[in-house]
Structure 1
Amino acid sequence: MPTAVPVPRRLAADSCPGALQVHKAADGGLARIRVPGGVVSLTQWAALQEYAPIELTSRANVQIRGVTDPAALAARLASAGLLPSATHERVRNIVASPTGDVRSVVTELDRDLCAAPDLAELPGRFLFAVDSARDVAGLGADVTVLLGSDPAPVLLAGVDRGLRVSVGQAVPALIAAARGFLAERTAQASRAWRLTELDDGPARVAARVADALGLLLSAPDVVGPAAVESGPIGAVPGGVAAVAPLGRLTGAQMARIGAVARDEIIVTPWRGVVLLGVDASALAALADAGLVTDPASPWATATACTGLPGCAKSRADVRADASVALGVTLPSSGVLPVHFVGCERRCGHPAGAHVDVLATGDGYQVDGENVRVEELPAFVAAARRKNA
């Protein structure tokens, strides 16, 4: 398991990549396209497929690597409706329950967020969550609304501070929390990127939201939901779901997904897709394209950072080594997720308990234990069983 990291004291503004603010990586430009609620139309999916392979992130966003012409990419994304706001494109960070009744709230939140000039100042890592199935609430969002009850609890950094709102107040509360974060950051002379980086952030922002909306804080009674180890996969209510191996989709896999989908594709924070209105018989076609459709597969809860050659900070081609390690048969249930990383930054690691596989330069550490590359499959398999 990764060692707990102390809350950082930020000295610089957030430089999280976006569709316009392209990050320079070892393999070229890296663009991150925000997809609120993970919803992508078939037309938008076809536009993204032009840049395959793509990566799916733990926030249900899309990454494109090797960008050589950022202006041309931005123009293509805008023409497909994937870049509705040049000023707010990095702050449209909204995760939502993939199969839940959340669409109207996500749409309203995205609209109101982009319509507020002051909220363009949010850091690119500030995260909203709209949860109706107790699945995305454990992903570490800065502000989460738990739909399904009236009034609905609003959690701040996963903590219940007594905020309760009607469904009609859900979006105003989320917007007020974002403004409360910015106001508290200014009051503390902080450059925080996340709510947890502020002194007593959840309590102070809760008070600001209550004051802005004229609410009375209730006695906290909600325990923040734990992170869900596995997202939807296989047959799901109303459709099917598949996971991208190590979060990366080839052009052929994207084409297969587009051919199977009916009206839209929902990208999930577990680096997969949900296709609603699709019969379970389509799972065979998705599996034939190399997508993970079996919840018992060792690949179902395995993730990895980019590694070499894409990231100059990585000490190994972690994706290649992970692919070998994942060839070991595991029990059909009761195993931990695993995340392979090339350096101590541990980019993209899961929110919950998982096996930590860190490249060291002359091998790996599996939950802190040094192993040689050739030993990796056996050690990873044992760690996933042992700790489950």
Structure 2
Amino acid sequence: MSVERDRTDRCPGVLRPWIADDGALVRLRLVGGALPTQQLADLVLVSGRHGNGDVHLTRRANLQVRGVRHADGEADPEFVRAVAATGLLPSRSHELVRNIMVSPLSGRLAGRADLRPVASRLDELLCADPDLADLSARFLVVLDDGRGDLVDRSLDLGLMAVDAEQAQLRVGEHWGEVVAMEQVPEVLVHLAHRFRHLREEAGTGAWHVDELPDAGAAMLDTHHARDLRTQVHALPVPHDTLHQDDGRTALHVDVPGGVLTHDLATRILALAGRDVVVTPWRSLILPDLENA
């Protein structure tokens, strides 16, 4: 069924905040939840100086800051400059459309493929393409590394790894062909352009693939059966010590209510190595820790 959209979405960003009763709410998008520990530490300080002091984790593995000063619908320029200084605003033109979810433990524990290079390359191509800046901020790419931890997430584009070198594409509710992993970023960008073309033809202002009748099938050209290797499902890993494939460990840390307070952040940062991973379950993974 076609969905008529007469406005853009209202998902917030740093440069397009949501104005709430307690001040501006801003969202910072992370590719696959990947986050250098120093950037998280810097953002905690930014929130303390310019927001309410907390950092919120979202179900798309992004971060939010609340209580930011604002004027005329825009966040305080001092806050924007402080965020940019952390490195968490890598593209002003594309900040709202950098919506790429990845299996949080990809390349570190189990899984069929390491999707981190795929996600990074896809983000590079996305941000380098001016035409794709007009995608909805709700347009979502989901990359499942074959364990099935993200297979149930609704998406616009995505894939599931079937082995270390190949993945089956996903477009809305449809399954596409199995392609070489090295081709995936370019193929997904091509599909995003096909969606934009179909949206323009329909004139509906659709935010999602499934809001255009038969768009998924049209974007894929040919119907493809779901590969049997994608028939897997995994629950989130427990909040515990995890043993990575390379012999190091990772900690999966609960963040109650998805609210990272200053005190909790201080305790977590003291345990973290070089990187942290924000998960879609509003928790944090502290990977690549050396065994004592």
User: TM-score, normalised on structure 2?
Assistant: 0.84
Query: Is the Cα–Cα contact under 8 Å of residues 39 and 88 in structure 2 kept in the other structure?
Result: yes
Secondary structure of 2:269's counterpart equals: helix
CA distance in 2, matches of 1:172, 1:91: 16
How many residue pairs get aligned? The number is 266
Match of 2:131 among 115, 118, 122: 118
Relative to structure 1, the CA distance from residue 198 to residue 151 in structure 2 (aligned partners, 3 Å threshold; closer, same or farther) is: same
CA RMSD of aligned residues (A): 2.2
Counterpart residue number, 2:65: 64
Gaps of 5+ in 2: 48-52, 107-113, 245-249
- Offset of 1:245 from its aligned partner? 0.8
Tell me which residue corresponds to 1:276.
287
Q: Residue in 1 aligned with 2:241?
A: 235
- Amino acid aligned to 2:227: V
* Equivalence for 1:155: 170
Per the alignment, residue 54 of structure 1 pairs with 55
- 1:173 and 1:130 mapped to 2: Cα distance? 13
Distance verdict in 2 for CA 1:107–1:153, change over 3 Å:
same
Output the CA distance in 2 between the equivalents of 1:54 and 1:171: 30
**Aligned counterparts of 2:142 and 2:282: Cα–Cα separation in 1:** 16
Alpha-carbon distance in structure 1 between the residues aligned to 2:7 and 2:151: 28
The corresponding residue for 2:155 is 141
Bigger RCO (CA 8 Å, 6+ sep): 2
Asked if the contact 2:168/2:177 (under 8 Å) is kept, the reply is yes
Q: Specify the alignment match of 1:94 in structure 2.
A: 100
* SS of aligned partner of 2:289: coil
Q: 1:10 aligns with which of 2, 5, 13?
A: 5
Q: Does 1:164 align with 2:178?
A: yes
Give yes or no for contact 1:146–1:152 (8 Å, CA) kept in 2.
yes
Q: Counterpart amino acid of 2:184? A: A
Q: 2:226 aligns with which of 218, 221, 226?
A: 221
**CA distance, structure 1, for counterparts of residue 179 and residue 234 of structure 2:** 25
Contact 1:138/1:226 (CA < 8 Å) preserved in 2? no
Aligned to 2:111: none
2:29 is the alignment partner of 1:34: yes
Matched residue SS, 1:140: coil
Matches within 5 A, 1:1-388: 8-50=3-45, 51=47, 52-69=53-70, 70=75, 71-100=77-106, 101-132=114-145, 133-149=147-163, 150-160=165-175, 162-207=176-221, 217=222, 219-222=224-227, 230-238=236-244, 239-278=250-289
The offset of 1:36, in angstroms, is 0.7
The Cα shift of 1:32 comes to: 0.4
Change (3 A) 1:278 1:23: same
Q: Partner letter of residue 136 of structure 1?
A: L
Greater C-alpha Rg: 1
Per-residue CA shift, 1:278-304, capped at 9, x if unaligned? 3699xxxxxxxxxxxxxxxxxxxxxxx
Paired residues of 2:2 and 2:212 also in contact (CA < 8 A): no
> Is the alpha carbon distance of 1:244 and 1:13 closer, same or farther for their aligned partners in structure 2, counting shifts above 3 Å?
same
Given residue 101 of structure 2, which amino acid in structure 1 is its aligned partner?
A: V
* Partner secondary structure for residue 79 of structure 2: helix
3-state SS in 2 of match to 1:236:
strand
**Residues 243 and 270 of structure 1 are in contact (CA less than 8 Å); yes or no, is this contact kept in structure 2?**
no
Gaps of 5+ in 1: 1-5, 208-216, 282-388
2:17–2:24 Cα contact (<8 Å) kept: yes
CA contact (8 A) 2:44 2:265 kept: yes
Q: Aligned partners of 1:36 and 1:58: how far apart in 2?
A: 13
Distance 1:268 1:7, change over 3 A: farther
Partner Cα distance (2:35, 2:5) in 1: 33
TM-score by length of 1: 0.64
Deviations 1:168-224 (A, max 9, x none): 1110111112111111111111111111111112112222xxxxxxxxx47413377
Alignment partners' CA distance in 2, 1:153 and 1:232: 28
